[in-house]
């Protein structure tokens, strides 16, 4: 008997198979499954681990792997839908705006990181502010940031990372710009891991942070 594809996704999340879970979620979306269907399946996968979160039977690695799979699936699904809808809205807004762009921004997620939900939001808000945005996507090497920014005569580079292990890649951007005589381009870092660091540590001009009350 053929396994229910949503049940298959739940099992992949439960087993912590993040790459396979993301691929399965993509196929489900291509076959007209809703985001709600996919989030529900992911939730069932995590719920199956509930008995591993007790004092008597605590399996930290299993929980961490399943959580990683859940985050990547949700980020992938929401990012795809959000990008499509926000691009439509921003595109319509740009067609109604006759003023030349105020600036050019090259934005993407740093090499090694595939999370881009927040980046899509920032890119769209910038487009609404009449900033020309070049969105390179995710898992982008620092050299490509630099080459694109120079070729497009960008004013800003926006680099995002949710994963702490990817922060060293961010530190390569400003030195690479300096070697090309383009250190006038302002580099701003954002994302969950960048907020826990500082502009000085990341060797960037600015970094996003959460302001306290």
Element (H, E) at 157: strand 156-160
- At 116-148, the pLDDT tens digits run 777 877 887 888 788 899 999 888 999 998 999
Alpha-carbon gap, residue 10 to 46, rounded angstroms: 8
- At 173-201, the pLDDT tens digits run 999 999 999 999 999 998 888 888 888 99
| Residue 51: domain span | 5-83
Residue pair 92/63 in contact (Cβ under 8 Å)? The answer is no
**How many structural domains does the chain have?**
2
Task: Output the pTM of the full model.
Answer: 0.65
Within a domain: 94: no
Q: Hey, what are 67's tokens?
A: 């959580």
Between 82 and 180, whose confidence is greater?
A: 180
**C-alpha separations of 59 from 63, 64, 67, 89, 140 in Å:** 6, 9, 12, 45, 34
Residue pair 161/132 in contact (Cβ under 8 Å)? The answer is no
pLDDT bin (cut points 50, 70, 90) of residue 1 is very low
Residues 119 and 196 in one domain: yes
Alpha-carbon gap, residue 100 to 132, rounded angstroms: 9
User: So what's the pLDDT on residue 186?
Assistant: 95
Within a domain: 123: yes
- At 57-80, the pLDDT tens digits run 556 677 778 877 887 887 777 666
Helices (H), 33-172: 35-47, 60-96, 117-128, 142-151, 167-170
Residues 107 and 171 in one domain: yes
């Amino acid at each position: 008997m053929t396994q229910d594809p949503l049940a298959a996704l739940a099992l992949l999340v439960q087993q912590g198979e993040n790459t396979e879970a993301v691929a399965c979620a993509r196929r489900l979306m291509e076959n007209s499954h809703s985001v709600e269907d996919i989030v529900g399946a992911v939730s069932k996968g995590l719920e199956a681990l509930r008995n591993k979160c007790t004092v008597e039977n605590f399996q930290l690695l299993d929980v961490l792997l399943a959580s990683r799979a859940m985050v990547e699936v949700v980020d992938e699904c929401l990012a795809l839908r959000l990008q499509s809808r926000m691009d439509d809205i921003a595109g319509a807004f740009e067609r109604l705006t006759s003023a030349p762009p105020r600036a050019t921004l090259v934005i993407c997620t740093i090499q090694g990181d595939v999370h881009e939900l927040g980046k899509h939001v920032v890119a769209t808000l910038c487009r609404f502010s009449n900033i020309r945005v070049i969105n390179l996507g995710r898992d982008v090497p620092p050299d490509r940031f630099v080459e694109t920014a120079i070729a497009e005569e960008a004013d800003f580079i926006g680099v995002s990372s949710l994963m702490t292990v990817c922060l060293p890649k961010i530190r390569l951007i400003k030195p690479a710009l300096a070697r090309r005589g383009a250190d006038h381009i302002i580099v701003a870092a954002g994302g969950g891991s960048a907020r826990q660091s500082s502009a000085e540590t990341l060797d960037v001009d600015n970094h996003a942070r959460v302001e306290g009350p």
